[in-house]
Structure 1
């Protein structure tokens, strides 16, 4: 198993460009199953999770061509539905949570779909009810084999076609909304999805589907209206930069006293992320579509108007993405002041704080959802240690901690980091970091 050996205390300088957005990639790559025509997608991050999904589509019969770094064409002309019931498919799909989003396109185009219980990060309960209740609202029949942990959904009637419906989602699930939208675009009649997720990546998916011939209104709102069409065609799509990488680089610059420029961030799609870092006392400038972070020795956390401790909590878009709370928590360990980190969506995502405590951080884990951080104001540096990455986002947060720490740190199980960050060690070493990959 590969590890990172990190020498802390190195100041970074230079420019870095974020990769394409992982969460968008998983959605739009699944959408190629909706048409027999060629779909070309640019700025795809060549990370472990995304490459596993592309490999899964190839095994299903999708013709995939790599056109260049991050650019691929897909043609799902002849999909092998029999493969979906094999043990090979079950093993491949169960390793990747994003694979659940092939269900909506297959159900819409072929009238049936199969899916094993998907894998992914172990960050608490991540139920799939929203996906399958949405399919049932469109008329699909649902079955779950508890012994094989295998889901089957089938469209009704002899024509195997879904039918539009009004639905109010019980949660604004991003992957759930994406799956239901992809199922509804080929359904007969009108579908209204209320309490829909409206993240920029979901907006990107909807706009891509519109270019393919779908009829979707309400994009960027939490109410989507879809008029079903008979078929979709090919298109060309360019993905957004990854907002999680952008936020990670902002926090990394502050923790390591570094001066860096983050290029081509699509600033208008970052939402509340820049403002939340500003509330942590981190200075930055928007320069066109770049973010410049000057070197600063100290950053002070704001308090609320009444003087009470700052709380940073995740929320559905346009609130703060939960994927960045691990980074905010690490950054707070060297801030001046205190902050309460409230992870509302997942109950196991804060369990990596024991590793930061071992490094000398002052953190009180209040319960599975909340942690209070008392910042050192850089007066006491974190110390290097050996730790294991539990999930993608905690993994990069631990990498940031190690880069700011005194001495050497070893991070084990870096496959978790590679799942979400492309060549992260090479790109950061180009800025002056000292990260050694040991296979």
Structure 2
């Protein structure tokens, strides 16, 4: 028995959708909260399975977690204990690796199992490990030495600040090293740091707690070590990837639609590309309005190359692919970050899309009408692409492995129903 999402397509959408708090911020903010010595209250928490998995890990560590309402977490680390994180819960999401930096910083020691999450090709954590080693940590692989379990231990006297250059401007490594460095003695400088808004969000919360982090939003982060962090209240930034997904849904299927609780500056590369292919939209301070995109409108073909922020986000290329089936001619998407991020193209082909992959480039030739089919969400953003395609298609689309969608999209089916979509969940054999 399996839960699936079924969509009867070709229904026009209208209305307003409010974007939830950032998934990519939330999954780092929750581990970061344990660095404090007092409760941390986080507002705007999305209702996604990754959050539930992280709460499970917090409770394994003895952290008290309260949820006074659906979008608020109160994380109280005062009863927290130094325990190994080796349960199956660690393998449910990749973001469990943020406990490496948080627990190494807090206790000077962490034993953790290899994290899970979507498979998008090799995503080694060697940059994280090199950063911890530069701070003075000793790294070993107990049990059978297979690296399924990683043990990090600070030297006697604790971690020491240093200068760290990241070979790749990795978001995960930047955040993880930053969390470990907040208690390191002296100054830590992270060069070629990632610049994503989510990093600014985590650093902002840590600074509210008493950390001394400078240079957020630039490629050089400076962390002056401190003795203790307190509690704070923090509201998560809107999810720019969820926002982009709903803008794409509106571009594909809406007569008139508002996407609210967004920061348009975080979406500039995506909005520019949508305007290039012929989508009508406007932005305000905190919303995007998509309008007058007729059902039979033929869009222009385009070429996209994914890049770190502020470039075109890798998380958006898959859902964008579904819209490109409406473009006339040959569109290409070159993936410069995750090599395996084209598993959605064969699934779109099942629905009638003309797709191919050549090396690190996906190819979509259109326009091609889409039809309902039985498809599989191989990862989170593939799932988003299939939802968009299902909304565009004639007939019924049945999406399997929707656990991936639930990892990152807050109440997706409920939000789409409110806009007029024919979407439901069913249990099938």
Shorter-chain TM band: over 0.9
Distance 1:394 1:364 in 2: 15
Moved more, 45-54 or 260-269: 260-269
Corresponding residue number in structure 2 for 1:46: 47
Structure 2 CA distance for partners of 1:148 and 1:129, relative to 1, 3 Å = closer
Q: Please give the residue correspondences for 1:95-174 in structure 2 after superposition, counting only pairs within 5 Å.
A: 95-145=92-142, 146-147=145-146, 149-157=148-156, 159=157, 161-174=158-171
Shift of 1:374: 1.5
Alpha-carbon contact 2:19-2:239 (below 8 Å) kept = yes
Distance 2:227 2:305 in 1: 42
Secondary structure of 1:77's aligned partner:
helix
Corresponding residue number in structure 2 for 1:422: 410
Distance 2:334 2:41 in 1: 39
Distance 1:216 1:271 in 2: 26
Distance 1:19 1:385 in 2: 29
Structure 2 CA distance for partners of 1:134 and 1:148, relative to 1, 3 Å = closer
Shift of 1:94: 1.8
User: Of the candidates 355, 365, 369, which is equivalent to residue 363 of structure 1?
Assistant: 355
Shift of 1:257: 4.4
Deviations 1:169-199 (A, max 9, x none): 1111111100000011110001000000110
Alpha-carbon contact 2:209-2:231 (below 8 Å) kept = yes
Shift of 1:139: 0.4
Structure 2 CA distance for partners of 1:271 and 1:227, relative to 1, 3 Å = farther
Distance 1:148 1:254 in 2: 45
Distance 1:147 1:125 in 2: 16
Distance 2:278 2:397 in 1: 27
Distance 2:106 2:271 in 1: 40
Distance 2:27 2:234 in 1: 13
The number of aligned residues is: 422
Deviations 1:292-312 (A, max 9, x none): 10031225326xxxxxxx320
Alignment pair present for 1:329 and 2:321: yes
Distance 2:53 2:352 in 1: 37
Alignment pair present for 1:339 and 2:327: no
Corresponding residue number in structure 2 for 1:306: none
Deviations 1:336-388 (A, max 9, x none): 34321111111211022112112111222223x21121221xxx420111011
Corresponding residue number in structure 1 for 2:374: 386
Alignment pair present for 1:199 and 2:187: no
Moved more, 258-267 or 236-245: 258-267
Shift of 1:144: 2.0
Distance 1:300 1:111 in 2: 55
Distance 2:426 2:216 in 1: 45
Secondary structure of 1:381's aligned partner:
coil
Distance 1:338 1:43 in 2: 40
Corresponding residue number in structure 1 for 2:31: 30
User: Of the candidates 369, 374, 381, which is equivalent to residue 365 of structure 2?
Assistant: 374
Distance 1:218 1:288 in 2: 24
Alpha-carbon contact 2:306-2:312 (below 8 Å) kept = yes
Deviations 1:140-167 (A, max 9, x none): 000124347100000001x3x1000001
Secondary structure of 1:115's aligned partner:
strand
Alpha-carbon contact 1:33-1:102 (below 8 Å) kept = no
Alpha-carbon contact 1:9-1:403 (below 8 Å) kept = yes
Shift of 1:213: 0.8
Alpha-carbon contact 1:36-1:78 (below 8 Å) kept = no
Distance 2:273 2:37 in 1: 43
Alpha-carbon contact 1:142-1:154 (below 8 Å) kept = yes
TM-score when normalising by structure 2: 0.96
Corresponding residue number in structure 2 for 1:301: 300
Alignment pair present for 1:76 and 2:68: no
Secondary structure of 2:141's aligned partner:
strand
Alpha-carbon contact 2:343-2:382 (below 8 Å) kept = no
Gaps of 5+ in 1: 303-309
Corresponding residue number in structure 2 for 1:10: 11
Distance 1:273 1:185 in 2: 34
Shift of 1:109: 1.4
Deviations 1:186-227 (A, max 9, x none): 100010000001100100111111111111111110101111
Distance 1:373 1:252 in 2: 18
Corresponding residue number in structure 2 for 1:245: 242
Distance 1:196 1:299 in 2: 40
Deviations 1:258-297 (A, max 9, x none): 3210012122333422112222221101133111100312
Question: Following superposition, which runs of at least 4 residues in structure 1 exceed 4 angstroms of deviation?
Answer: none
Corresponding residue number in structure 2 for 1:258: 255
**RMSD (CA atoms):** 1.4
Secondary structure of 1:274's aligned partner:
helix
